[in-house]
Structure 1
């Protein structure tokens, strides 16, 4: 297994001996790393940067889209190489390392009306009462459903109390068998990013580790039950794509996908009828899982002061309303169906209420922990034997805990 240097160590290196502050009079180019190359996202980011340039003509903002799979590793490698971005889009899994490292500048003075920020949305991004990162995207996961494919297969979408994981997989299995398409795709999982499986296993009340981050949860019965269900859904029911099988819901290749509303823009061509619903209920009841993206200003970036000023503009109430088209804001005043519907014309107010607003109110953020790069790699490697038809689920999950117990104890 390839050794990954701890994120915290790289960030500490930056804090101690980074490139240093070099804001100066004259033209400035700010570099902001993101993980999205979605043309609609890029267009919006560039539009906000262009608006900023009208009042700050000497400031140019360059958005650098990096592949999601290696995003955090790439950013920290840039940091270790003495070339940190001025602003970084930080994924929730890496937030504990970035927030605790001292590498980011506090943002309390760079955010309009911090009192409007939902406490649940900012909890992961604070240290000692200071806002270290701004969670500009606080987005629960939902299930997009290709209702045309379901109709073709003679299936109907379960509703109300019938929208359970058991019924969702049954419909996905039947639709895949009848249409030759795939059933349910957990987007961005691809048997690599295991954290996206939280959208499933939390329906069993399972979690990767205890609330204090010290005790592994993979060998606990709720996780064993959830992963047994998932394994059966893949290899017995054929309701999910098997390892090595690619299927893009947004190209009409599957009946369902688990994703966030930022993906809705991929459906604007209207090639098929679809709907968006919350995650199915599991044995432990209804639940919601939230993915977050935060903005951080690197203290040792070349233009930290100018970067903080741009973040203030980027996260203003006016621009938060624009960003809400893809990225639900942490602003309580904007977390209502009317505001979100204005920014998301492809989604109905009731969909936004049921998936986004209610999801933020009750949801938990995807798994995060200090030392996330090492832990995530260890979990991924230890889970590899699970993705075979004859896997011993209990034994594999015990092996995950054996792999990560020393890392959780650090």
Structure 2
């Protein structure tokens, strides 16, 4: 009971923080004296920061009043909580990278200023949907990144297994085949077959990359009806449970396996992780496997926004406009796929993505952006996330009653969905 109370209070506190940002925002005028801008980001990758700092340096050359642009790296696991705490404590950044799972809360709260973006009409309407309210755009869809599968082809061949490319050619690239491949790898070497990266039995929304193959959804389109107890979800999660505990083809609870360190044969993740590849083994990047519902695409998205409480609103607006202009969008596309119509072709993407072939970019990135569905998003997602995670915990045991656990998830989140 005390745990549930803490969860509720935490979620309410986060909501209050966002509500507070609607009041007492920036003045909307240029600042007096030197300006130091700060933007929170989740990635501390040297390649990502080098790119961002390079763009910032170009901006500062034309705007000498802006003495610095600091990219403040916050830990991924508590990024949004840290950001909202900073805002509540009067230490709001000027700009922030915002994940799709908190987009609805940020946009509806008034925490964000209207985004000033050049050639916004070039951005796909579907990519802007999360970040709009009353016809206004409140964050630029900085990364619209489909999930795909990175494959260690050397490891599969060592286990005597076909590659996904071969299975795709035969029309057999399915989650059932993934489980066979993964089980063979585990039997041969003791290593892990498949890892859904960043899931770690905590970030449940990343499982949308799996259950969507069955046509399952966390909740209905209007967000009011739980989908965890529906037949499609029960079938999907039963399949996942079997892969983990019977076939031993996927990462087990309480264990780790880093694909990029050569510790697993396959991993579900996004194009930006290609920066971690060091050519220690032969690899491929292919679309998500199909399932009973056929082929599908899932997108992770992030927006860049100017905070309403920025101490330097005019300069922050200027940097946001510069960072997201068509020229810099093309540079950002090296790691963070851009949903600009003018840049959505493999040849253009290949110029800034030398590690990926035009075919890989066409099959995973271009098609995924055009056809993909964003991971589950809901108002009050922080509280929903905690409730789902807690209710799913009993599922990660060998003797779990899958259907009973999923009914429990709906019991836990039904009041939250109806708020």
Matched, 1:15 2:33: no
Task: Report the Cα distance in structure 2 between the residues aligned to 1:393 and 1:304, rounded to whole angstroms.
Answer: 50
SS in 1 for 2:151: strand
Q: Does the 8 Å contact 1:21/1:301 carry over to 2?
A: no
User: 1:126 Cα deviation (Å)?
Assistant: 0.7
* Alignment map for 1:98-109 (pairs within 5 Å): 98-107=106-115
How far residue 129 of structure 1 moved from its aligned partner, in angstroms, is 1.0
1:250 is matched with 260
Residue 389 (structure 1) aligns with: 398
Distance 2:136 2:346 in 1: 30
Matched, 1:355 2:371: no
Q: Any residues of structure 2 matched to 1:222-233 within 5 Å, and which?
A: 222-233=232-243
Query: Counterparts of 1:20 and 1:406 in 2: how far apart (Å)?
Result: 39
TM-score using structure 2 length: 0.95
| C-alpha contact (below 8 Å) 2:11/2:380 kept by paired residues | no
CA deviations on 1:306-350 (whole Å, 9 max, x unpaired) are: 111100010011110100000111211001101111110000001
Q: Is 2:208 aligned against 1:208?
A: no
Give the Cα–Cα distance (whole angstroms) in 1 for the partners of residues 413 and 250 of structure 2.
27
Residue equivalent to 1:49: 56
Q: Confirm or deny that 1:188 pairs with 2:198.
A: yes
Task: Mark the runs of 5 or more structure 1 residues left unpaired by the alignment.
Answer: none
Measured after TM superposition, the shift of residue 198 of structure 1 is 0.3
Aligned match of 1:64 in 48, 72, 78? 72
CA RMSD, aligned part only? 1.2
1:159 aligns with 2:149: no
Residue among 348, 360, 366 paired with 2:375? 366
Q: Which consecutive aligned stretches of 4+ in structure 1 deviate over 4 angstroms post-superposition?
A: 17-23
CA contact (8 A) 1:149 1:179 kept: no
Indicate if the aligned counterparts of 2:29 and 2:314 stay in contact, CA closer than 8 A: no
Give the deviation of 1:26 after TM superposition.
1.9
**1:8-52 Cα shifts (integer Å, max 9, x gaps):** 332111212467668422211111111111111111111111111
- Check whether the contact 1:30–1:307 (CA below 8 A) recurs between aligned residues: yes
Offset of 1:302 from its aligned partner? 1.1
- 1:40 corresponds to: 47
Q: TM-score, normalised on structure 1?
A: 0.97
Segments of structure 2 that go 5 or more residues without pairing to the other structure are none
Does the CA-based 8 Å contact 1:176-1:255 persist in structure 2?
A: no
